[in-house]
Amino acid sequence: MRPVLDIRNVKKIYGQGETEVQALRGVSLTVERGDYVAIMGSSGSGKSTLMNILGCLDIPTSGRYLLDGVDVSRLNDRRLALVRNRRIGFVFQAFNLIARTSALANVELPLAYAGVRSAERRRRANLALSMVGLAERAGHEPNQLSGGQQQRVAVARALVTAPALVLADEPTGNLDTQSTDDVLAVFDRLNRSGRTIVLITHEPDVAAHAKRLIRLVDGRIVQDERLK
Beta bridge partner(s), residue 67: 5, 70
> Closest by alpha carbon to 109, among 58, 168, 101?
101
The mean pLDDT value for 41-69 works out to 92
Per-residue pLDDT reduced to its tens digit, 22-43:
999 999 999 999 999 999 998 8
> Closest by alpha carbon to 13, among 28, 27, 32, 30?
27
Q: What is the largest CA-CA distance in the chain?
A: 57
- Cα distance from N-terminal residue to C-terminal residue, the chain: 21
Per-residue pLDDT reduced to its tens digit, 89-113:
999 989 999 999 999 999 999 999 8
Q: Which residues contact 72 (CB under 8 A, 6 or more apart)?
A: 56, 59, 65, 66, 80, 83
Q: Is residue 88 pLDDT above 80, yes or no?
A: yes
The mean pLDDT value for 35-59 works out to 92
The pLDDT of residue 28: 97
User: Could you give the CA distance from residue 214 to residue 96 in angstroms, rounded to a whole number?
Assistant: 27
pTM for the structure as a whole:
0.92
Which is higher by pLDDT, 73 or 38?
38
The pLDDT of residue 98: 95
The mean pLDDT value for 181-210 works out to 94
